[in-house]
Amino acid sequence: MAALPQLPSILSFEDARHVVEQHAAQVVPGDLESVGLLASLGRVLGRAVTADRDFPPFRRAMRDGYAVRAVDLTQLPVILDVIAEIKAGADSRDVPAQIGPGQAAAIMTGAPTPPGADAVVMVEYTSLSGNQVTVTRAVASGDNVVPVGSEARQDQVLLPPGLLIDYSAIAVAASVGRDSLLVFRRPEVAILATGDEIVEANTQPGPNQIRNSNSYSLSAQVQAAGGDPKILGIARDEPQSLRDRIQQGLQCDLLLLTGGVSMGKYDLVEQMLAGCGAEFFFTGAQIQPGKPIVFGRANGKYFFGLPGNPVSTMVTFELFAKPMLEALAGMTARKLVFLHARLKSEIKTKTGLKRFLPGMLSGEFERGEVELSTWHGSGDVASTARSNCYIVIPPDRERIAAGEWVPVLKR
């Protein structure tokens, strides 16, 4: 039987996260594929999107009002002759060739500012009578006019590769006339559940059996993070079964295993991975839930051995597997950041581990509040499903008083 990995490697949460980030920085994402603009939502951009012309392409009025020469507005009030009306989308023939001294043009937001005019005075500071407008407020040259190319020059990169495409990126792509985008292929993620007590979710479990929920929560998490989950079923706590499935899983871009990484006699996952030539980067992190998390590489493929308790599986995916998956999906690395919210009621825990406890973020507007969910440990998936965040508790805190600001990992 293969030897267990000789590693004293139970790392602090931060060190473990950094180890994953360092490896993630080295992975090469897959090929590119073309998808329709709306189908690109949530995908990772594979090739830069550039400006097809200057933005804005003309001197755009930012307000409804009058296009004027700022020098005409030094003595107030002033009366100007209105020589034209310029609508947004105006034909060039309807834009006066020049605004001369003492002249103005009525102008609408989004319309081209005519030559000679160097500012727009807002309609609120004017009153029109016949063909004459009285202006009661001065403007500086450039006020309420967006210069040509000030947002972007033609051919300038607007969206870089590696960007996670959201609604604002879709707006940019639409504004430069793109109806499809090149995105990275979704990485294939093998998901292998382990355990003699685990049965398929669509079967009736025996009295001491548990339905497989981890393969499904993980598939959902993989999909949400931009991956393509491949469920490999359930391996028995038995060497041959495990080894075969692990080999199969290592064909994918990333392998996620659940269960079998604790200290029990039948927790064989690490041994079997070692037998497949794995190197281990850590075999535990000082966190709860999720302490026995394993991270390594075999046959050039990364794997995570996630603890089997359903909440541990979820939390360790979010904290460790997700950045690796995002890197395989071509996404530019981002750091994990916690939000802060005010604690509604006191929390008491034990020291020693950084805790990620299911919580409920509530409140309104600038008054975010958070409260611990009542839960019964790392197996309590129902309590987690009714929560919407994890409250992060530092390892050195035994008691956190109501009213304190606490870090929160939003779901």
Question: Nearest approach, Cβ of 35 to ligand AMP (angstroms)?
Answer: 32
| C-alpha span between 281 and 30 (Å, rounded) | 24
Please pick, from the candidates 5, 65, 187, 195, the single residue that binds Mg ion as defined by CB under 5 A.
195
Nearer to ligand AMP, 68 or 294 (CB): 294
Smallest gap, in angstroms, from Cβ of residue 175 to ligand AMP? Answer: 46
Residue 187 touching Mg ion (CB under 5 A): no
Tokens representing 260?
């079998």
Nearest distance from C-beta of residue 310 to ligand AMP, angstroms? 5
DSSP 1-14: -PPPP----EE-HH
Given ligand AMP, Mg ion, none, residue 227, with its beta carbon under 5 to 8 Å by kind, binds none
**CB of 195 or CB of 330, closer to ligand AMP:** 195
The option from ligand AMP, Mg ion, none interacting with 126 (CB < 5 to 8 A, set by class) reads none
Distance, C-alpha 117 to centroid of its chain: 44
Count other Cβ atoms within 10 Å, centred on residue 113: 26
For position 305 contacting Mg ion by CB under 5 A, the verdict is: no
Q: Which is nearer to ligand AMP, 33 or 197 (CB)?
A: 197
* Comparison of 242 and 391: residue with beta carbon closer to ligand AMP: 242
Give the span between the Cα atoms of 16 and 287, in whole angstroms. Answer: 10
Contact of residue 253 among ligand AMP, Mg ion, none (CB under 5-8 Å per partner type): none
Q: Could you tell which of ligand AMP, Mg ion, none binds residue 310, using a CB distance below 5 to 8 A set by kind?
A: ligand AMP
Of the two residues 144 and 212, which places its CB atom closer to ligand AMP in the complex? Answer: 212
Q: Which residues bind ligand AMP (CB under 6 A)?
A: 193, 195, 197-198, 210, 212-215, 258-262, 264, 267, 307-310, 379
- Tell me the C-alpha distance between 190 and 254, whole Å: 6
Structure tokens of 267? Answer: 């927790």
CB of 340 to ligand AMP, least distance (A): 31
What angle (nearest 5°) sits at the alpha carbon of residue 310, between those of residues 309 and 311? 95
Phi–psi pair at 275, nearest 5 degrees: -65, -25
- Tell me the closest approach of the beta carbon of residue 390 to ligand AMP, in angstroms: 18
In angstroms, give the least distance from the CB of 319 to ligand AMP. Answer: 17
CB of 347 to Mg ion, least distance (A): 30
| Distance in Å, CB of 194 to Mg ion, minimum | 6
Q: Report the sign of the C-alpha dihedral through residues 336, 337, 341, 345, in that order.
A: positive
CA distance 349 to 287: 13
Among 259, 284, 330, 359, binds Mg ion (CB under 5 A): 259
Other Cβ atoms less than 10 A from the Cβ of 410: the count is 11
The item of ligand AMP, Mg ion, none sharing an interface with residue 393, based on CB under 5 to 8 Å by kind, is: none
CA angle 193, 198, 204 (to 5 degrees): 130
Strands in 42-137 per DSSP E: 49-50, 60-61, 65-68, 78-86, 103-107, 119-122, 126-129, 132-135
Q: Report d(CA 14, CA 172) in Å as an integer.
A: 36
Residue 151: both structure tokens together: 């947002």
Q: Which is nearer to Mg ion, 249 or 259 (CB)?
A: 259
Residues near Mg ion, by CB under 5 A: 195, 259-260, 308
